[in-house]
């Protein structure tokens, strides 16, 4: 992210020859005409190059008067400035549930809670506490952090102040992709004009979004790297989702899915996997097309599972279900930072990053949505498959040297704990299998959040007490 020193420099990685894209490595440097290919249909960028790095500054909600003329096409083209980060800095957004201590249902009183913490919810460009779409949610936001441990400490400090208020109100905090029992029809919208406009536009699709996620921003210095890195990260959507899948229940019923949140949020018209684009100028053209067509009014309305964030100078990974523990927050931050650092360094060495076929990305996302860590995922464009658990063990082993240099090796190793103890959706179902009901599941989620540990089968009766 911009304006913050980055993580320690990494040395060159010795890589082998080209392998399958899901084999977690980039291809060897391209030569000749193969290097820097873009589609023939793309117009030249305003700067003259296929992927020129010099852009005009345009606000995220740019209008026609903000656009620069494109003489070749006789039309206006949005030029979007990349605000460069100083290395793979971090920002984390954690959406928390407000739960009534007596009923165990979601409480729709985020506005009142935030009003008691004006110093955290109103100060600065990026407040530490923010509204989300529904009043049952408070989003906790870090500042710009250099390391995973710094991001965890930032979140913990804010949550300590938040708990001071919620405890006096009879409110408990927890996090999972959905609340196991509360009905979306009981939700109340946050008092924000932008959200009112969103509800008016999307209607039922937006009313259902009583869901909770984690977003991780990782900084990139050079904006020309953003699209290749987004494309490469799309191969890891099943990894991101399966590790954090935490929404098996919806309105009191077991959905049979590992992540019902992925389906609910995936229903929005501009959500889902990122489209395959060749470079930054193609991203500019695509945003221009969506704005011109009236599909979006701002690039902030592009809710891809992974998206570039030019104002922050980051790639934002939005695929994670909400997770109950700070340990798992550290895990997804370490995984994100290590992967982006690895891909960034491969680009520096001239490698062409993996770019999986769109059908493979969609299919793998569905497999993780349905089966979580038990998914069998597609590992190349010819349809080869492998157990996702095996892929995760291999990925952690490959990222371990990078994570060590970034100082987040311990956080990355939490992946092994999740593989051993189960993701949140597995732990929640284990409570029910052990004789508990959905109230016990809620108690277990509250305990995991408060104590930063996994609730194991047999102790659910003591959770939340």
Among residues of the chain, what percentage have pLDDT more than 90?
Answer: 68
In a domain, 78, yes or no: no
**What's the DSSP call for residue 19?**
-
The closest alpha carbon to 98, from 82, 112, 81, 79, belongs to 112
Domain assignment of residue 165, given as a range: 90-462
Enumerate the β-bridge partners of residue 309.
314
| Residue 416 in this model has a pLDDT that exceeds 70 | yes
Tell me what the mean pLDDT of segment 42-51 comes to. Answer: 33
DSSP letters for 205-254? HHHT----EEEEEEE-S-GGGHHHHHHHHGGGHHHHHHHH--B-EETTEE
Does 43 fall in a domain?
no
Backbone angles phi, psi at 383, to 5 degrees: 100, 10
DSSP one-letter string for 64-122: GGGSEEETTTTEEE-------BSSS-EEEEEEEEEEETTT-SBP--HHHHHHT-HHHHT
* CATH number (domain holding residue 264): 3.30.590.20
Question: Tens digits of per-residue pLDDT, 6-46?
Answer: 333 333 333 333 333 443 445 444 433 333 222 222 333 33
Q: Kindly state the average pLDDT of the residues 434-450.
A: 97
Helix (H) or strand (E) holding 424: helix 424-433
Confidence band of 240 (pLDDT split at 50, 70, 90):
very high
CA-CA distance, 92 to 200, in Å (whole number)? 29
pLDDT, residue 298, reads 84
Q: Would 83 be classed as within a structural domain?
A: no
Residue-wise pLDDT for 109-141, tens only, equals 999 999 999 888 776 567 899 888 788 999 999
Q: In this predicted structure, what is the pLDDT of residue 1?
A: 55
**In-domain check, residue 67:** no
- Mean pLDDT, the chain, whole residue set: 84
Is 6 within a domain?
Answer: no
30 within some domain: no
Asked if residue 37 is part of any domain, the answer here is no
Query: How many domains, the chain?
Result: 1
Phi, psi values for residue 234, rounded to 5°: -60, -25
Residue appearing with tokens 């020859």: 17
Name the packing angle between helices 326-348 and 148-166 (round to 10°). Answer: 150
**449 domain residue, yes or no:** yes
Among the listed residues 352, 391, 121, 89, the one whose alpha carbon sits nearest the alpha carbon of residue 225 = 352
């Amino acid at each position: 992210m911009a304006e913050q020193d980055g993580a320690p420099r990494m040395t060159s990685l010795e890589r082998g020859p080209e392998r399958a894209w899901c084999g977690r490595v980039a291809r060897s440097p391209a030569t000749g005409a193969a290097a820097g290919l873009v589609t023939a249909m793309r117009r030249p960028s305003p700067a003259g190059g296929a992927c020129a790095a010099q852009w005009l500054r345009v606000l995220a909600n740019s209008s026609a008067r903000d656009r620069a003329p494109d003489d070749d096409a006789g039309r206006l083209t949005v030029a979007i400035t990349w605000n460069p980060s100083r290395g793979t800095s971090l920002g984390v957004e954690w959406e928390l549930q407000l739960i009534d201590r007596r009923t165990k249902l979601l409480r729709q009183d985020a506005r009142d809670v935030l009003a008691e913490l004006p110093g955290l919810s109103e100060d600065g460009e990026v407040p530490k506490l923010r509204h989300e779409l529904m009043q049952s949610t408070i989003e906790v936001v870090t500042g710009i952090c250099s390391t995973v441990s710094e991001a965890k400490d930032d979140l913990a400090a804010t949550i300590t102040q938040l708990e001071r208020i919620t405890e006096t109100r009879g409110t408990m905090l927890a996090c999972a992709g959905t609340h196991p029992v509360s009905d979306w029809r009981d939700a109340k919208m946050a008092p924000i004009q932008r959200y009112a406009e969103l509800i008016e536009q999307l209607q039922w699709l937006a009313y259902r979004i009583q869901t909770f996620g984690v977003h991780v921003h990782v900084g990139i210095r050079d904006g020309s790297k953003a699209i290749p890195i987004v494309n490469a990260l799309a191969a890891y959507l099943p990894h991101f989702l399966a590790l954090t899948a935490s929404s098996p229940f919806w309105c009191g019923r077991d959905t049979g899915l590992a992540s019902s949140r992925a389906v609910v949020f995936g229903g929005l018209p501009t959500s889902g996997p990122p489209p395959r684009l060749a470079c930054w100028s193609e991203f500019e053209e695509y945003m221009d097309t969506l704005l011109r067509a009236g599909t979006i009014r701002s690039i902030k309305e592009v809710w891809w599972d992974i998206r570039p964030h030019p104002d922050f100078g980051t790639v934002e990974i939005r695929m994670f279900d909400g997770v109950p523990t700070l340990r798992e927050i550290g895990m997804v931050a370490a995984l994100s930072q290590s992967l982006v650092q690895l891909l960034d360094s491969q680009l520096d060495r001239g490698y062409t990053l993996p770019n999986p076929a769109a059908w493979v990305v969609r299919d793998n996302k569905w497999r993780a949505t349905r089966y979580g860590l038990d998914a069998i995922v597609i590992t190349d464009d010819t349809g080869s498959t492998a157990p996702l658990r095996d892929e995760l063990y291999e990925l952690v082993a490959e990222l371990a040297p990078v994570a060590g240099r970034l100082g987040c090796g311990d956080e990355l190793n939490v992946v092994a704990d999740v593989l051993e103890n189960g993701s949140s959706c597995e732990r929640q179902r284990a409570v029910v299998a052990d004789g508990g009901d959905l109230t016990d599941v809620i108690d277990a989620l509250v305990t995991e959040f408060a104590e930063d540990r996994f609730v194991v089968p047999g102790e659910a009766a003591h959770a939340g007490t």
